[in-house]
Structure 1
Amino acid sequence: MRAASVSPVVLVAHGSSYPRAAATTRALARAVAAARPGETVCAAFLDHEGPRPEEVLASLRGSGFTSATVVPLLLTSAYHGRVDIPAALAKARTDGVDLAVELTDVVGPVGGVVPAPLLAGLRRRLAETGVPFDAVVLAAAGTRDRAALSTVDLAARALGGRLGLPCLPAYASASAPTPGEAVYALRQGGARSVALAAYFLAPGRLYDAAVESARTAGAVAAAQPLGAMPELARLVLDRVDAVGRAAPLAA
């Protein structure tokens, strides 16, 4: 086995007022580090929780590192991915943090491709509900960014294809349909047992809203957010490897 990269990995999450959300992100950082022993993996947050990305990068430079790989823990390339994270990296440079920083793709679909570990994680979370279902709603947070919405549509089609079942995208905010509306549409189309798949990385207000909307409309099960799953840890490392900053996973 080759040694792990000396370039640390910084996972950047949106952040939430829910304490469990930050705990989930930190648990994922530990899972990534466990999947690749010797790798330094840190968590950072754009809002609510600390530390901020620029603070983590400054601390890494102060510890003697000369480079870092930043992974956006985002399922779409909407505003936070296109604006907030680059702004945080620019602030670090303005503050004098002279690290060589590689920014990976988000952990959602990129270039029309839905990552296999993402689909595997969604399927596992659905299976964990222990409830049979004949249709699925893939519930996401929501955005007005059409390009970002198209990637959620893509993920819903891919998940439905893997399951061999109807699967509609839905949104807890900003976009239509709501999870409840999607559940209703599937039931009107003949589905009798609709499950909610959570297109969320961590728990929070919007995840709770999505679950409530779906259950009110008759959903029989609601999967948990992806969280610190092995599949998500694998996906993070795939993103890191794609920018050439780390060795393959240990066997």
Structure 2
Amino acid sequence: MTPPRLVTVAHGTRTPAGNRVAAELTRAAGAMLSLDAQVSYVELCEPLLADVLAASPGPTVVVPLLLSTGYHVRQDLPRSVAAARSRVVLGPVVLGGPLGPDPLLAAAQVERLREAGARAGQPVTMVAAGSEDATTSADLTVAADLLGAAWGAPVRLATLAGRGSRMLDVVRPGDAVSPYLLAPGFFADRAHSLALHAGAGVVAEPIGPHPLVIELVARRAESLLPLPQAH
């Protein structure tokens, strides 16, 4: 039987550095599991998930590099995987869930806050891209609670779009701001600018290719193995 491969799927951005984060996470997680690994994207960057699945058919685990449930997780990705399953392939294609919320992401955020100079006990606002999807809002609430537990102090939540409160209404002067964002790009730039405008004392970097995130991607892929036998 053809060995399984890992395919990750990130949102995609017009910022090359953001797309490189997804590629680095994929390479490192694949190496950790001794699996061939290929990055793909939902939009704004190639290769797209559907093209990756079509180009090299075979037993595949698909791990979204997305931090919350939402439209892409519930609609776009299942459609792409269903299309792949409808073709003659060498093995099954199994789709995992989003990376977050998860304690490993919260722990990585804490390290980014410390790297940026945040002090123990300093008030924190976590900022996420946001969505109109109610499932995203529920996930973000859990993610903020996990960050608060890891940081040791309450964490307020703000979003840049969709449901939720906006940064200028949430961030207080002197806050540390933790972007709940995986990579550089439009939302990270917007979060940084608004945080400074609101008087934040510290703005952490996006979570990025942190070792804990690599571990999380590998765990999610491993949880999908062994793949069911194709019929």
Give the TM-score normalised by the residue count of structure 2: 0.90
Unaligned runs of 5+ in 2: none
Q: Does 1:141 align with 2:129?
A: yes
User: Which of 156, 163, 174 lines up with 1:168 in the alignment?
Assistant: 156
4+ aligned runs moved over 4 Å, structure 1: 94-98
Q: 1:165 to 1:225 in 2, by over 3 A?
A: same
Instruction: Show the counterpart of 1:132.
Output: 119
Amino acid at match of 1:128: E
The one-character-per-residue Cα deviations of 1:72-119 (angstroms, maximum 9, x if unpaired) are 11111100100010111123344554540111121012xxxxx22111
TM-score, normalising length: structure 1:
0.83
Q: Which runs of 5+ in 1 are unaligned?
A: 110-114, 188-192, 247-251
| C-alpha distance in structure 1 between counterparts of 2:146 and 2:181, whole Å | 16
SS at match of 2:171: helix
Residue 82 of structure 1: aligned partner: 74
Residues of 1 paired with 2:11 and 2:74: CA distance?
13
Pairwise CA distance, 1:222: 1.2
The question of 1:243 aligning with 2:230 is answered no
Is residue 34 from structure 1 mapped to residue 48 from structure 2 by the alignment? Answer: no
3-state SS of paired residue (2:218):
helix
Q: 2: CA distance between counterparts of 1:10 and 1:19?
A: 19
Q: Identity rate of aligned residues, in percent?
A: 32
Code of the aligned partner of 1:51? P
Paired AA for residue 196 in structure 1:
V
Alignment-derived partner of residue 249 in structure 1: none
Residue of structure 1 in register with 2:21 after alignment: 24
CA distance in 2, matches of 1:123, 1:22: 23
Q: Is the contact between residue 144 and residue 175 of structure 1 (CA under 8 Å) also seen in structure 2?
A: yes
Is the Cα contact below 8 Å between 1:143 and 1:174 reproduced in 2? yes
Which of 99, 102, 121 is the equivalent residue of 2:108? 121
What's the RMSD between the two structures over aligned residues? 1.9
| Aligned pair partner of 2:11 in 14, 33, 36 | 14
Q: Distance in 2 between matches of 1:179 and 1:96?
A: 48
Please state if 1:226 is matched with 2:207.
yes
